[in-house]
Chains A and B, each alone.
Chain A
Amino acid sequence: MEHYTMNLTLKVWRQKNATSQGSFETYQVRNISSEMSFLEMFDVLNEELIHEGKEPIAFDHDCREGICGMCSMYINGRPHGPWEANTTCQLHMRAFKDGDTIVVEPWRANAFPVIKDLTVDRSAFDRIIQAGGYISVNTGSPVDANAIPVEKEKADMAFAAAACIGCGACVAACKNSSALLFVSAKVSHLALLPQGAPERRTRALNMVAQMDKEGFGSCTNTGACEAVCPKEISITNIARLNSEFTLAGLLSSNK
């Protein structure tokens, strides 16, 4: 792979805290290596800002290997930047060329308020899980693991849905700020397994109700969420949630 260096113009959203008005600031970064990750480029910029006596840019990040789901930048009009099936931390500067201007914004959704600069509050996702994204089993002595055979195809589909990292790119990409891909990934993961069957009806109803309460929009099947999902969670999961939800509504004896 050919290495090269580049000079870039960055337009970054700066916002002191949740209540203040934010605006874009423009920065020049020089001698950026094509080998760097996008966040390492931000590290370079932040080091320069600190040396100039300015405030570095706050952004969420942790594992930097694409699995914790903490990083969350909206880069040039796309959550997690231009690469497919990718997180911001795994985006590398090879994706850009000398002289490019890159616009970086936080996730935008009422349900994800900005805390500072590019950092947003995604605790709504935790509350949606609290509404039913689990199997009610206490630590103790469940049956032997192999006492519950699971069809391989279903186990694989459950795993594919469970691969969701909860980053919120689906919400950021959706024109309706809907969290249905996130919710449906969890509902599908658990509904596809026999262990999750006893609670499947209440789970679907309660998680969707909580999603609405948190201020996310409704799904209109545009498919933008699937296109930007770092873990390639399929919108078929949304259809599965829809059927779970509809059946739950019809079969539930609760008023």
Chain B
Amino acid sequence: MLDSKIPAGPLEEKWTYYKGHCKLVNPANKRKLEIIVVGTGLAGASAAASLGELGYKVKAFCFQDSPRRAHSIAAQGGINAAKNYQNDGDSVFRLFYDTIKGGDYRAREGNVHRLAEVSVNIIDQCVAQGVPFAREYGGLLNNRSFGGTQVKRTFYAAGQTGQQLLIGAYQALERQEALGNVQVYSRHEMLEVVIIDGKARGIIARNLVTGKLERHFGHAVLLCSGGYGNVFYLSTNAMGSNVTAAWKAHKQGAYFGNPCFTQIHPTCIPVSGDHQSKLTLMSESLRNDGRIWVPKQKNDPRKPNDIPEEERDYYLERRYPAFGNLVPRDVASRAAKERCDAGYGVGTTKQAVYLDFRFNLINKYGRAEANKLGIHNPDEATLVRLGKEVVKEEYGNLFDMYEKITGENPYEVPMRIYPAVHYTMGGLWVDYELMTTVKGLYALGEANFSDHGANRLGASALMQGLADGYFVIPYTIGNYLADDIATKPIPTNHEAFEAAEKAVSDRINTLMSIKGKQSVESFHKRLGKIMWEKCGMARNAQGLQEAIQEIRALRKEFWSDVRIPGEIAEMNPELDKAGRVADFIELGELMCLDALNRNESCGGHFREESQTEEGEAKRDDSQYMYAAAWEFKGESNWELHKENLEFEVAKPTQRSYK
């Protein structure tokens, strides 16, 4: 039975109650306890630093050359917190409620409320660390607004909020390394969890420079290894982002929660050709000022600026007059796909829509500036010039990035955008304490499934990563380790370490000995195509069943025909990639299985069989009000465990944005 271990009592007192009653480890004993942290993004770096500060002996692992490179660094827009600095009616309860509703009622109330509570501490902590958030002229913090909310609660640092938060956590981590509390292992990849007497007790890691396998003991293991969006090959994730750490844990007994919940972000730079290696996000904040449209005429050959106003279809404003261009991500993405599938797409590939800033550039910013300067009856050229200056200040770095990638100037012509895989709400199933179904094995940040339900709101990923690392795990891990203070470090020549290392080594040898014809990259691309077409923005039973068969066939082909050059005992990026793609293939099958099982539409998961007459997502609370936790039973064999979700405070309603 799945026990989520939600503390009893009223929702708003659960976390306070937990903190007041959980077991503690005294400082002298903390020094005897070792903790392994895999991944150094927001969740991993903040956890490793905080645990090091408490006195635990921490080992932190990352596959990049420095902990500062983790992909949290690429987050653009901001981080939510219920500070109510703007006096616009925000509160912990509203942040909790928005997150539950935004997630389409598929997240746990207790976890989400705790997240909203600690959000305020995160901002205080980050400011104390020197994170340079945007400020007003009076010297106080500034906020911007994001989709799916009616308040301004997003703290930001230009379009580089993730970078600034990660650097803050990284600096805290480096400080602990200097003090000797944390040892960082960069260019290391975790390839197995070591379990002794039912408890996670260490990992096998591969040194990516020498190729050597290493054994590391820990009283507990924290996986902070991020999401698995790269299963789609093309995503906004970094090239190295992978599921391997989480997948190894899954195969060792950790249940995988809601694997099919994937966030497709509506505003990304479209694919330009077969060579494409990754996709680049254009921040959601752009939808504050950009209007999305396609031509009313199919295959319109004209340039966007030559198409007159009356021949443009502002389809989001048409379909969702109440929310217009600021509908949540899942809704905006599906609407773009619908238009392109119907033949109205733009650009060379016809898989894109326009995001046009001209209207607001002239009418909103241009006119405001002209007013400020006392220019009466300004001509259009003046309005464009004045508006441009403001837009540059708001979004300059994003516009520059767009121009570098596409060669087009978005101040002059509308951006072309298309949805792309961005975030995975699914992940390792964890209880209230962030522990997986394996004792002593934790999952934090995007690697777990906990807080965002079926759809994540903008600016909430950073909040969750830091909440887990700074403010949740330091309490919950103590509750577990308090019973472990007598456990001496287990020598790494223990048979469980031997066996785990041998399993890893055998697998690597098998991979290297295939010596087939096809490159790792080509398999990854084929997997991505199957996943995108059949388990992407719209899913149906037939397609998912086909996908499962195709993935199984692909797995066989991979294990008989992959070609990996080079040697084991050296830096070998192709070998690293092969291991990751092999895990993605297995995960892909489970995602399709989960999507097939969940015959309802909710959040980012859209089953074509379950939609309203207008083509909107239709949830089925009577059948599917649960979190799906999959237990690995063997090759292509999983058992479903259901964690029923109870909503005592936020009562489920059908979402409507019309």
Contact = CB atoms under 8 A, between A and B. Distances in A.
Whether the complex brings A and B within 8 Å at their CB atoms is answered yes
Interface of A: 1, 16-17, 33-37, 39-40, 43-44, 47, 49-51, 53-56, 58, 60-70, 83, 85-86, 90, 92, 94, 115-116, 119, 121-123, 125-126, 129-131, 133-146, 148-152, 155-156, 158-159, 162-163, 165-166, 189-190, 193, 195-196
Interface in B16-71: 46, 49-50, 53, 64-71
B139 A67 contact: no
A44 to B, nearest CB: 6
A44 B73 contact: no
B166 to A, nearest CB: 10
A58 B129 contact: no
Contacts, number: 219
Interface of B: 46, 49-50, 53, 64-71, 73-74, 83, 85, 121, 123-130, 132-141, 157-158, 160, 163-164, 167, 170-172, 174-175, 177-178, 184, 186, 209, 236, 238-240, 272-273, 275-278, 280-281, 400-401, 404-408, 470-471, 474, 519, 521-522, 563, 565-566, 570-571, 573-574
Given A116-B571, A142-B127, 20 more contacts: A35-B275, A40-B277, A50-B519, A62-B71, A62-B238, A64-B238, A65-B281, A90-B405, A126-B66, A134-B129, A135-B171, A137-B128, A137-B172, A142-B125, A142-B128, A145-B123, A149-B140, A150-B139, A156-B132, A166-B66
Contact of B573 (A56, A122, A133, A146): A56
23 contacts: A1-B407, A47-B519, A53-B565, A55-B566, A62-B64, A64-B277, A64-B278, A65-B280, A65-B401, A69-B68, A85-B400, A115-B209, A115-B571, A126-B174, A130-B177, A134-B174, A139-B46, A142-B127, A155-B139, A156-B132, A162-B164, A189-B132, A195-B130
A15 to B, nearest CB: 11
What DSSP secondary structure best describes chain A's contact surface?
loop
Contact of B124 (A119, A141, A163): A141
A56 B565 contact: yes
A195 B73 contact: no
A94 B160 contact: no
A33 B273 contact: yes
A141 B120 CA distance: 11
Given A143-B124, A146-B141, A166-B68, A40 B171 contact: no
A67 B130 contact: no
B49 to A, nearest CB: 7
A149 B139 contact: yes
B50 A63 contact: no
Contacts of A60: 65
Given A115-B571, A145-B127, A149-B139, A126 B184 contact: yes
B127 A158 contact: no
A115 B277 CA distance: 24
A133 B171 contact: yes
Contact of A33 (B125, B275, B405): B275
A249 to B, nearest CB: 22
Contacts of B129: 134-135, 137, 195
A58 B276 CA distance: 19
A143 B178 contact: no
A97 B132 CA distance: 41
Most chain B C-beta atoms within 10 Å of own C-beta, residue among A39, A40, A126, A131: A126
A136 B184 CA distance: 19
Nearest to A146: B140
Contacts of A139: 46, 49-50, 53, 125, 172, 470-471, 474
Contact of A39 (B49, B50, B65, B277): B277
A193 B140 CA distance: 13
Contact of A50 (B141, B278, B563): B563
Contacts of B132: 155-156, 158-159, 162, 189, 193
